[in-house]
Amino acid sequence: GAVVSQHPSWVICKSGTSVKIECRSLDFQATTMFWYRQFPKQSLMLMATSNEGSKATYEQGVEKDKFLINHASLTLSTLTVTSAHPEDSSFYICSARPIGTTLSTDTQYFGPGTRLTVL
Amino acid sequence: LAKTTQPISMDSYEGQEVNITCSHNNIATNDYITWYQQFPSQGPRFIIQGYKTKVTNEVASLFIPADRKSSTLSLPRVSLSDTAVYYCLVLNTDKLIFGTGTRLQVFP
């Protein structure tokens, strides 16, 4: 149980194009999903918190107009990288917090990640 | 805000017990301590979570002293497949903030 999927697992795109990444909780519902970015040999950096039915909360320094997040249902959140550039190339990981999880325990389940390469 | 500190890297050999200690001096009263494992090009995987004293599951043990300002993840008899980055986390105002993690390298 508690599986999170991401699609696609990897994507290569040209500079200036937009890329959409999907994050799905397959066997549970999640009111909150999180998006992280990870550069090689570095730790995960939280980009934004996505709540179903409301606007995402972005971390300081993350451009909300560049990284569009939509959390349309309790099992799906999407991240769209708009007008991607080579510096956006990274490993993008989502996580989902099951409904009913208390904040103090905060069990999150992570997706397998999406490797984005912008040429 | 809770912040965690752990060693950047550790080396071990197959069959040995590995203990990774994490300090979290500013942990809040209600916060749990959670450890994740991450392999290259994969998302983090939950290992273990605890509040105080000792927690054990099929993968690891977690030791937390009474003051809860630190915790130790114990991996018994590591194998090559345990080579990964291990993250210690404490909930930080409704979100997980990842520190540097500990890169564990297991040698044959």
- The residue-averaged pLDDT of B76-80 equals 96
Q: Check if A44 contacts B (Cβ < 8 Å).
A: yes
C-alpha B12/C-alpha B77 separation (Å) is: 10
Contact list in A for residue B44 (CB cut-off 8 A) is: 44, 93, 95, 110
Neighbours of B42 (CB within 10 A): 15
What was the pLDDT predicted at B2?
A: 56
What was the pLDDT predicted at A105?
A: 64
Q: What radius of gyration, in Å, describes the C-alpha atoms of chain A? A: 14
Which tokens sit at A39?
């550069």
What was the pLDDT predicted at B29?
A: 86
Query: Which positions ≥6 away from B91 have C-beta within 8 Å?
Result: A103, A104, A105, A106, B2, B28, B31, B32, B34
Residue of B nearest to A37 (CA): B43
Does the pLDDT of residue B99 top 60, yes or no? yes
- The residue-averaged pLDDT of B79-100 equals 87
Contact list in A for residue B6 (CB cut-off 8 A) is: none
What was the pLDDT predicted at B101?
A: 95
Which among A111, A115, A112, A114 has a CA at the least distance from the CA of A30?
A111
pLDDT 10s digits, B11-43:
999 999 999 999 999 888 888 899 999 999 999
pLDDT 10s digits, A67-101:
999 988 999 999 999 999 999 999 999 999 888 87
A 60-89 residues inside an 8 A Cβ radius of B: none
**Contact criterion met (CB below 8 Å) for B44 and A44:** yes
- The residue-averaged pLDDT of B50-57 equals 93
Tell me how many degrees the CA angle B55-B58-B60 measures, rounded to the nearest 5: 55
- The residue-averaged pLDDT of B97-103 equals 90
Q: Check if B94 contacts A (Cβ < 8 Å).
A: yes
Which of B32, B99, B101 lies nearest to residue A105, judging by beta carbons? B32
Span between the terminal Cα atoms of chain B, in Å: 40
Q: Check if B34 contacts A (Cβ < 8 Å).
A: yes
Which tokens sit at A107?
């069990």
pLDDT 10s digits, A10-68:
999 999 999 999 999 999 999 899 999 999 989 999 999 998 888 899 999 999 999 99
B 60-89 residues inside an 8 A Cβ radius of A: 87
What was the pLDDT predicted at A102?
A: 67
Distances (CA, A) of A21 to A11, A40, A116, B63, B64: 9, 19, 9, 38, 38
Q: How many residues does chain A have?
A: 119
What was the pLDDT predicted at A114?
A: 98
Which of A34, A91, A112 lies nearest to residue B95, judging by beta carbons? A34
Neighbours of A39 (CB within 10 A): 11
Confidence of residue B93 (pLDDT cuts 50, 70, 90): low
Does the pLDDT of residue A1 top 70, yes or no? no
